[in-house]
Amino acid sequence: SARVVCFGELLLRLSAPGREKLLQRPQLEVCVGGAEANVGVSLARFGHHVAMVSTVADNALGEAVAGELRRHGLDTAGVRKVPGRMGLYFLAPGAAQRPAEVLYDRAGSAFALAAADAYDWPGLLAGADWLHLSGVTPALGANTAAAALAAARAARAAGVKVSFDGNFRPSLWQAWNGDAPTILRGLMGQADVLFADHRDMGVVLGGQYPQAEALERVRAAAADAFAAFPHLRWMACTLRTPRNVDHHALAGVLVGRDGAVALAPALEVGPIVDRIGGGDAFAAGVLHGLIRGWAPERTIRFGLAAGCLKHAIPGDFSLASEAEVEALMGEGRFDVKR
């Protein structure tokens, strides 16, 4: 197993019960989320040692969030507690013609306000094999953008592999007029593994990708990414075909620096219980395969099955074990369509 450090904001998620709109009834369900923590929880389930690095509010909410991560096997010694507030997000799951609604309430959170030099990266990364980051962290403001870049650079300097999930969130960047292309390019330039599709690459590299087959667009984006980012060895993404709010088809693609493309054929996913965190579960599954040294085909099939399985688990975290993911891969419970 590997030692993985995840750096990012820990959020409380407040969601309307069932298919209700927000506060349709005066009741909300609470769980813990945050893209990087979601990846960490999956990796811990798959047997890795995962340390979370973050900053939370020094109050009962911050305590509860750190405790929840520990309950799922994460090491929280690197979670700083400072006076301030927790970031929140509100969710109203979609239903039929009504799309899901996500409302962030995280401006000025303890994490967003933490100074870039608040983290002792050489110490936090000592003994680690991987550092996982995502594009959510630099989208929160200049402090967190600098912190993410410092983390990635320290990892490179220490020989710790860097995994980066593009996770482009336009509304967060717009809130402070952040220069997403430049900042994301800087981070991707440190990455060994990149989770991103042609849309992310379009934002970062300004590429125009052919209106051809989805797979061709991913291939073109990957070629651009490998040309732009010297350390990059793997790029992975899912290809999603929406059916309706309850159901979609997901395929997976993993491209290597040598141009080899491994495909996981599309799986039909639905009825969807909760799709939030599906991308994080996919990233964790692919990382697990890369850590294990599996062949690219097995790695991407495992990642895709892990991402699909998350859609059947309520909350942000995927609690699926390796055996459960493998059972899904083998069982062909989903229709396999090309």
Of 42 and 76, which CB lies nearer to ligand KDG in the complex structure?
42
Q: How far is the CB of 137 from ligand KDG (least distance, A)?
A: 9
Residue 59 identity: N
The span of 30-38, 117-125, 187-195, 236-244 binding ligand KDG (CB under 6 A) equals: 30-38
**Active-site residue, from 197, 200, 274, 280:** 280
* Residue 299 near residue 262 (C-beta atoms within 8 A): yes
Q: Is 200 in the site for ligand KDG (CB under 6 A)?
A: no
- Nearest residue to ligand KDG by CB is 33
Q: How far is the CB of 241 from ligand KDG (least distance, A)?
A: 20
Strand 3-7 vs strand 49-57: parallel, antiparallel, or unpaired? parallel
* Residue 91 near residue 16 (C-beta atoms within 8 A): yes
**What b/e readout covers 159-193, taking b as 16+ CB neighbours within 10 angstroms?**
ebbbbbbbbbbeebbeeeebebeebbbbbbbbbbb
- Note if 224 is an active site residue: no
* Residue 7 near residue 151 (C-beta atoms within 8 A): yes
Q: Is 289 in the site for ligand KDG (CB under 6 A)?
A: no
Among 50, 68, 86, 89, binds ligand KDG (CB under 6 A): 89
Among 7, 33, 125, 234, binds ligand KDG (CB under 6 A): 33
Residue 10 identity: L
Residue 151 identity: A
Question: Within 72-140, where are the H helices?
Answer: 110-113, 121-125
**What b/e readout covers 130-158, taking b as 16+ CB neighbours within 10 angstroms?**
bbbbbbbbbbbbebbbebbbbbbbbbbee
Q: Is 279 in the site for ligand KDG (CB under 6 A)?
A: yes
Contact code string over 141-180 relative to ligand KDG, x by CB under 6 A: ----------------------------x-----------
Q: Residues with catalytic annotation? A: 280
Positions that interact with ligand KDG (CB under 6 A) = 11, 33-35, 38, 89, 136, 169, 276-277, 279-280, 316
